[in-house]
């Protein structure tokens, strides 16, 4: 007798969710996927919203994308393997990325599996069995009073991690009479014309927002704890140490220098968050998600899987590969180890990271050295897949250096991947 089709819930229709949908449909097994997307269209993070706090449906804005954003890695590292980008520059504008995702959904007819404008409230296991089914509760954001529930054989979580803001406590911030906001709420630079702005944090968003604001602001202080950035910045962007405290209209830096400022912007990142999963199912402590094996599958409930927990990696191709592994686990072609062995593997991975100098918050960080590529080889071996091309790693490493040393100009470069090992820079 043929096995009945399995119903699979996919939470989120961004890069991770589309990867999950496509790989479910690629499987030889019979899956009936339903994707729940809070936004009005495909795109996830890349679906721009001019609103900064509350959207048109009275829901908190979930996207952090600002109007003028251009990607910080080339399109070759932001593509699904079965759908190349259009010809043109290597670095893409925000609308081009969103258009790419929507065209991908249209090409493979994925929209018919997606419930748009849908907010998932709760996901609960139906039993304590490792292959439990799940009850998912959700609402249409345009009719929040009507709570609906459905039962699924498995759930794939693809909700990203760019919504819950990490806003550090700063002494005296309640005294500061200027504007304070997180980069999550930043959209356009024109509002800061003639103002003195302090941007806290100098990862990509901090540098990019500081540079964007500099075209209008009087002065931008880029405050951070890193070594001095080895790149040119606009003349009115000054690097400073971290912030010691705020005063009524001034900032005091850690070196005890002070400056008059009108605006404080937190570019201090985001916190991992699964608001629809209770703490008895998933725990997040200092950014470490437990109990999860290989950053992908729940150790106790193997029908709860994740695409997108790892941070700072080439996330289009990497998420697509993770989604392949997720589906291979559901298919049964990947035989998971016993629970105690999965727990030991997760603990060893965490301990290795700490020995290598990463702090507790970097349990899923993939952005140093060749870590993301080692991870890819590990999961590829587990599922019997080919790892990503070596050319991807070489291009990533090259662009990382360019970004660190030529921040103002690196996105003018163009590239071509010539084979699985090689890329070239083109005019």
Domain of 25, CATH number, reads 3.50.50.60
Evaluate if residue 3 carries a pLDDT over 90. Answer: no
Half-sphere exposure of 371 (CA within 13 A, CB side): 17
From 200, 234, 266, give the residue that closes a domain. Answer: 266
Of the residues 266, 286, 315, the one at which a domain ends: 266
Same domain, 243 and 318: no
Position 55 in a domain: yes
CA distance linking residue 332 with residue 378, whole number of Å: 18
* Residue 199 pLDDT greater than 70, yes or no: yes
> Within this chain, do residues 213 and 285 fall inside the same structural domain, yes or no?
no
Do both 12 and 130 map to the same domain?
A: yes
* Mean pLDDT value across residues 129-148: 97
Interval 192-196 mean pLDDT? 98
Containing domain of residue 402, as a range? Answer: 391-426
| Same domain flag for 368 and 395 | no
- Total domains in the fold of the chain: 3
According to DSSP, residue 113 is labeled: G
For the stretch 265-309, pLDDT in tens is 999 999 999 999 999 999 999 999 999 999 999 999 999 999 999
For residue 41, the model assigns a pLDDT of: 97
Residue 110 lies in a domain: yes
**Is the pLDDT at 368 greater than 80, yes or no?**
yes
Rounded CA separation 402/409 (Å): 9
Contacts of 374 (CB under 8 A, 6+ apart): none
Judge if 408 and 373 occupy the same domain: no
Give domain status of residue 1, yes or no.
Answer: no
190 and 50 in one domain? no
For residue 372, tell me if it sits in a domain. Answer: yes
Give me the phi and psi of 304, to 5 degrees please: -115, 115
**pLDDT at residue 235 greater than cutoff 70:** yes
Q: How confident is the model at residue 427 (pLDDT cuts 50, 70, 90)?
A: confident
List 259's β-bridge partners, or say none: 251
Tokens of 401: 């250096």
> According to the model, what pLDDT value does residue 325 have?
98
Residue 1, pLDDT > 70, answer no
Average pLDDT over residues 176-185: 98
Asked whether residue 349 carries a pLDDT value surpassing 90, the answer given is yes
Same-domain check for residues 99 and 221: no
Domain end, chosen from 222, 245, 266, is at 266
Across the beta sheet with 118-125, what order do the strands follow? 118-125, 134-140, 143-152
Which whole-number Å values give the CA distances from 334 to 188, 329, 331, 341, in the listed order? Answer: 46, 5, 8, 15
In a domain, 296, yes or no: yes
pLDDT of residue 35: 98
User: How remote is the C-alpha of 15 from its chain's centroid?
Assistant: 9
The SS3 assignment for 338 reads coil
pLDDT over 90 at 237, yes or no: yes
Asked if pLDDT for residue 169 goes beyond 80, the answer is yes
Residue 76 has pLDDT above 80, yes or no: yes
pLDDT digit string (tens) for 370-402?
A: 999 999 999 999 999 999 999 999 999 999 999
pLDDT averaged over the chain? 97
Is it the case that residue 318 has pLDDT exceeding 80? yes
Residues 70 and 18 placed together within one structural domain of the fold: yes
Residues 255 and 155 in one domain: no
User: Please, are residues 417 and 389 in contact by the beta-carbon 8 Å criterion?
Assistant: yes
Contact (Cβ atoms closer than 8 angstroms) between residue 176 and residue 264: yes
Are 78 and 218 found together in one domain? no
- Quickly state the pLDDT bin for 161 (edges 50, 70, 90): confident
CA dihedral 385, 391, 396, 402 (to 10 degrees): 180
Residues 350 and 398 placed together within one structural domain of the fold: no
Q: How far is CA 208 from CA 50, 140, 163, in A?
A: 18, 35, 19
One domain for residues 88 and 157: yes
């Amino acid at each position: 007798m043929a096995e009945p089709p399995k119903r699979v819930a996919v939470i989120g229709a961004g890069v991770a969710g589309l990867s999950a949908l496509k790989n479910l449909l690629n499987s030889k097994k019979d899956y009936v996927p339903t994707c729940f997307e809070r936004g009005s269209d495909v795109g996830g993070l890349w679906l721009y919203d001019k609103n900064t706090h509350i959207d048109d449906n009275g829901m908190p804005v979930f996207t952090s994308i600002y109007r003028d954003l251009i990607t910080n890695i080339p399109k070759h590292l932001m593509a699904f393997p079965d759908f190349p980008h259009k010809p043109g520059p290597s670095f893409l504008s925000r609308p081009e990325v969103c258009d790419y995702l929507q065209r991908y959904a249209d090409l493979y007819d994925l929209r018919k599996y997606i419930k748009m404008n849908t907010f998932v409230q709760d996901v609960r296991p139906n039993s304590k069995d490792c292959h439990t089914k799940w009850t998912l509760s959700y609402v249409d954001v345009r009719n929040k009073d009507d709570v609906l529930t459905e039962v699924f054989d498995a759930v794939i979580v693809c909700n990203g991690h760019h919504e819950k803001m990490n806003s550090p406590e700063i002494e005296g911030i309640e005294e500061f009479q200027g504007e304070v906001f997180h980069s999550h709420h930043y959209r356009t630079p024109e509002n800061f014309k003639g103002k003195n702005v302090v941007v806290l944090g100098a990862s990509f968003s901090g540098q990019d927002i500081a540079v964007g604001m500099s075209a209008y602001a009087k002065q931008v202080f880029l405050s951070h704890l890193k070594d001095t950035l080895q790149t040119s910045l606009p003349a009115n962007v000054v690097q400073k140490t971290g912030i010691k405290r705020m005063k009524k209209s001034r900032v005091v830096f850690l070196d005890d220098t002070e400056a008059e400022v009108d605006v404080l912007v937190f570019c201090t990142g985001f916190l991992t968050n699964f608001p629809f999963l209770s703490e008895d199912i998933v725990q997040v402590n200092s950014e470490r998600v437990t109990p999860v094996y290989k950053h992908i599958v729940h150790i106790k409930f193997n029908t709860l899987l994740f695409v997108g927990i790892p941070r700072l990696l080439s996330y289009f191709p990497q998420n697509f590969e993770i989604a392949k592994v997720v589906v291979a686990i559901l298919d049964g072609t990947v035989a998971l180890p016993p629970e105690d062995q999965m727990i030991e593997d997760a603990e060893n991975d965490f301990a290795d990271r700490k020995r290598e100098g990463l702090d507790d918050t970097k349990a899923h960080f993939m952005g140093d050295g060749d870590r993301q590529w080692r991870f890819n080889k590990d999961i590829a071996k587990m599922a019997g897949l080919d790892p990503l091309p070596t050319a991807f790693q070489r291009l990533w490493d090259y662009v990382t250096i360019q970004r660190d040393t030529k921040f103002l100009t690196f996105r003018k470069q163009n590239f071509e991947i010539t084979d699985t090992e090689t890329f070239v820079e083109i005019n």
